[in-house]
């Protein structure tokens, strides 16, 4: 597809979202919502996206067609160095929604319900509800298995439209592969969890996909709560661009597969331990990638690589269109002047970088995420900041923007001052971690990462004994893709002294004195 055609299609897509949002429900024209003036307690719209790396036009990606998310940046502030606490869905979302770091909540895995560990913690929406807000959750906000009913003023809902949709031929392939795995004697849990192929580009309308159907339902809810007397806190979660990549065909048509750029570093970092890499089990769940090599064993075939990149970008554009519909309705209802909007992803995603696909590492490509904040009461349109911020910072920030007290348990730092002054001196470091299990020498190995303006420092320790097993150091001054572990080079000895201090002393030590709660 020619560049001019791609841009034109993206422009038309963004222009159509308003008409699309207005045509979904018959009661739109009868609402006559009166615009609300700016308030001390504004509404909050929190948009949560799964697996979205910074593959957006507004973040410098020349390939991605993301006009509606890019438009958010023109209305608010783009954070260029936002980091999650863990690059996995459930623990990342728990950190953001509770304000607790994983070492405090104990939530480091997908299968850990946070209420089991911290039953009395007050979540972000629960705190807003206690202070007079009507709180609503739609889609994947928490991990889907743990919706946490006590966070919401009304039942949390997801679309009943299936997340997955494949052709009859693809379902047949799933059956064939299951039979082959049985003949080979594979474990029962592998066969049971096997999924249909990773991609589907059926020519269907948005409403027949989870994201489109969920947006339709969310728009109807938004119209209802906008008429209420209480300010609202609405969290809307999108599953795409999580695997499988099943956006409607029109989003695939925005891209020319043969001309899509591929990862420039399709190899593990030089000098990195194997435990630092994921095993690509997420791809291996799908019947078209059961034999995928591990990152240190080889790379995917070119046709497979291009198909996955194409599917991912199509899914990004699909979500982008839904974001456009949400914002068009915010504008149409006259809510824009009194609604704080936050756009956040739970972690990044590798598309061949380091020879890998998926997330679940401590590297930059997995832990750095897009974060956009709009507050119509602050002059911030089109600004950006390079200050280091973390997912746990969203809880106190939203409290302060809404005029609410910040609970004592929160372990993040409000970045509200950055919205007015993006160049303020800020955190020295952001902290991430990952707990790797099924490691032959140890039952569990814990990786902890410190990200400063220039460096990423990672330690891997035996979780049970705290024995140091491996160290990694990456110098972003000359190696922004983190391709070479320079931990053994003497020139970095002085920098390592401070990085090791930061990791040992923890997040409070990374704050400037003006932000230290203990000073």
Q: Is residue 154 part of a domain?
A: yes
Q: What is the mean pLDDT of residues 34-38?
A: 39
State the pLDDT at residue 516. Answer: 72
State the pLDDT at residue 385. Answer: 98
Q: What is the domain extent for residue 17? A: 3-28+40-165+200-431
Q: Is residue 457 part of a domain?
A: no
Write down the pTM of the prediction. Answer: 0.91
Judged against a pLDDT cut of 50, whether residue 240 lies above it is answered with yes
**One of 54, 73, 89, 287 is an active-site residue; which one?**
89
Q: What is the mean pLDDT of residues 156-172?
A: 79
Judged against a pLDDT cut of 90, whether residue 493 lies above it is answered with yes
CATH number at residue 216: 3.40.720.10
Tell me whether residue 442 is one of the annotated catalytic residues. no
Write out pLDDT tens, residues 344-380. Answer: 999 999 999 999 999 999 999 999 999 999 999 999 9
Judged against a pLDDT cut of 70, whether residue 30 lies above it is answered with no
Q: Which of 159-163, 353-357, 386-390, 434-438 has the lowest mean pLDDT?
A: 159-163
| Percentage of the residues of the chain whose pLDDT score is greater than 70 | 90
Tell me whether residue 143 is one of the annotated catalytic residues. yes
Q: What is the mean pLDDT of residues 196-211?
A: 94
Judged against a pLDDT cut of 50, whether residue 134 lies above it is answered with yes
Q: Which of 11-15, 72-76, 193-197, 501-505 has the lowest mean pLDDT?
A: 11-15
Q: What is the mean pLDDT of the chain?
A: 91
Q: Are 476 and 457 in contact (CB under 8 A)?
A: no
CA pair distance 196, 175, nearest whole angstrom? 9
CA pair distance 242, 321, nearest whole angstrom? 16
Angle between helices 3-22 and 302-332 (to 10 degrees): 40
Question: How many structural domains is the chain composed of?
Answer: 1
Q: Which of 5-9, 382-386, 433-437 has the highest mean pLDDT?
A: 382-386
Judged against a pLDDT cut of 70, whether residue 169 lies above it is answered with yes
State the pLDDT at residue 518. Answer: 59
Judged against a pLDDT cut of 50, whether residue 223 lies above it is answered with yes
Q: Are 132 and 43 in contact (CB under 8 A)?
A: no
Judged against a pLDDT cut of 50, whether residue 16 lies above it is answered with no
Q: Is residue 143 part of a domain?
A: yes
CA pair distance 62, 80, nearest whole angstrom? 16
Q: Are 431 and 390 in contact (CB under 8 A)?
A: yes
Q: Is residue 303 part of a domain?
A: yes
Judged against a pLDDT cut of 90, whether residue 145 lies above it is answered with no
Q: What is the mean pLDDT of residues 8-35?
A: 39
CA pair distance 37, 18, nearest whole angstrom? 22
State the pLDDT at residue 441. Answer: 67
Q: Within 13 A of 179's CA, how many CA atoms are on the CB side?
A: 6
CA pair distance 322, 486, nearest whole angstrom? 43
Judged against a pLDDT cut of 90, whether residue 268 lies above it is answered with yes
pLDDT band at 439 (very low <50, low <70, confident <90, very high): low
Q: What is the mean pLDDT of residues 215-240?
A: 96
**One of 54, 127, 134, 143 is an active-site residue; which one?**
143
With a CB cutoff of 8 Å and minimum separation 6, the contacts of 189 are none
Judged against a pLDDT cut of 90, whether residue 237 lies above it is answered with yes
Q: Are 59 and 370 in contact (CB under 8 A)?
A: yes
Write out pLDDT tens, residues 79-123. Answer: 999 999 999 999 999 999 999 999 999 999 999 999 999 999 999
CA pair distance 96, 499, nearest whole angstrom? 24
pLDDT band at 19 (very low <50, low <70, confident <90, very high): very low
State the pLDDT at residue 164. Answer: 55
Judged against a pLDDT cut of 80, whether residue 287 lies above it is answered with yes
State the pLDDT at residue 39. Answer: 66
pLDDT band at 186 (very low <50, low <70, confident <90, very high): very high
Q: What is the mean pLDDT of residues 285-308?
A: 94
Q: Is residue 177 part of a domain?
A: no
Q: Is residue 156 part of a domain?
A: yes
Q: Is residue 385 part of a domain?
A: yes
357 φ, ψ (degrees, to nearest 5): -140, 135
Of 9, 140, 139, the C-alpha closest to 64 is 9
Q: What is the mean pLDDT of residues 276-300?
A: 92
CA pair distance 269, 469, nearest whole angstrom? 17
Q: Is residue 462 part of a domain?
A: no
The two tokens of residue 467 are: 């024995």
């Amino acid at each position: 597809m020619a560049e001019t055609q791609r841009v034109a299609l993206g422009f038309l897509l963004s222009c159509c979202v308003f008409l699309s949002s207005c045509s979904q429900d018959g009661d739109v024209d009868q609402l006559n919502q009166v615009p609300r003036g700016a308030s001390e307690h504004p509404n909050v719209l929190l948009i949560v996206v799964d697996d979205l790396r910074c593959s957006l036009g507004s973040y410098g990606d020349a390939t991605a067609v993301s006009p509606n998310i890019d438009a958010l940046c023109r209305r608010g502030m783009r954070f260029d160095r936002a980091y999650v606490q863990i690059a996995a869905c459930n623990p990342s979302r728990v950190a953001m929604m509770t304000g607790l770091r994983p070492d405090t909540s104990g939530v480091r895995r997908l299968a850990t319900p946070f209420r089991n560990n911290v039953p009395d913690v007050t979540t972000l929406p629960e705190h807003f509800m206690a202070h007079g807000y009507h709180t609503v959750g739609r889609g994947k906000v928490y991990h889907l298995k743990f919706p946490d009913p006590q966070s919401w003023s009304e039942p949390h809902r997801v679309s009943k439209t299936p997340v997955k949709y494949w052709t009859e031929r693809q379902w047949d392939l799933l059956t064939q592969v299951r039979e082959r795995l049985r003949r080979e004697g594979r474990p029962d849990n592998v066969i049971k969890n096997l999924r249909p192929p990773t991609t589907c580009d059926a020519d269907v309308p948005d409403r027949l996909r989870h994201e489109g159907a969920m947006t339709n339902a969310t728009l109807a809810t938004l119209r209802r709560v906008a008429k209420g007397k209480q300010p609202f806190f609405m969290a809307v979660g999108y599953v795409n661009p999580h695997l499988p990549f099943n956006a409607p065909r029109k989003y695939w048509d925005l891209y020319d597969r043969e001309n899509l750029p591929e990862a420039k570093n399709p190899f593990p970092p030089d000098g990195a331990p194997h435990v630092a890499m994921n095993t690509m089990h997420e791809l291996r769940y799908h019947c078209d990638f059961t034999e995928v090599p591990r990152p240190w064993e080889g790379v995917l075939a070119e046709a497979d690589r291009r198909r996955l990149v194409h599917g991912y970008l199509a899914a990004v554009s699909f979500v982008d269109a839904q974001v456009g519909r949400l914002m068009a309705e915010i504008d149409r209802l006259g809510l824009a002047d009194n609604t704080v909007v936050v756009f956040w992803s739970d972690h990044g995603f590798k598309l061949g970088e380091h020879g890998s696909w998926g997330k679940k590492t401590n590297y930059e490509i997995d832990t750095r995420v897009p974060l956009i904040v709009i507050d119509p009461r602050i002059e911030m349109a089109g600004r950006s900041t390079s200050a280091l911020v973390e997912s746990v910072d969203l809880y106190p920030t939203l409290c302060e923007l809404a005029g609410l007290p910040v609970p004592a348990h929160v372990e993040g730092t409000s970045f509200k001052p950055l919205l007015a002054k993006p160049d303020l001196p800020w955190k020295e470091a952001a902290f991430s971690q990952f707990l790797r299990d099924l490691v032959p020498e140890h039952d569990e190995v814990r990786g902890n990462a410190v990200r400063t303006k220039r460096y990423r420092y990672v330690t891997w320790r035996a979780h049970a004994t705290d024995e140091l097993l491996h160290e990694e150091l990456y110098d972003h001054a000359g190696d922004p893709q983190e391709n070479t572990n320079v931990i053994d080079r003497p020139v970095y000895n002085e920098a390592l002294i401070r990085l090791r201090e930061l990791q040992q002393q923890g997040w409070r030590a990374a704050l400037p004195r003006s932000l230290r709660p203990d000073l």
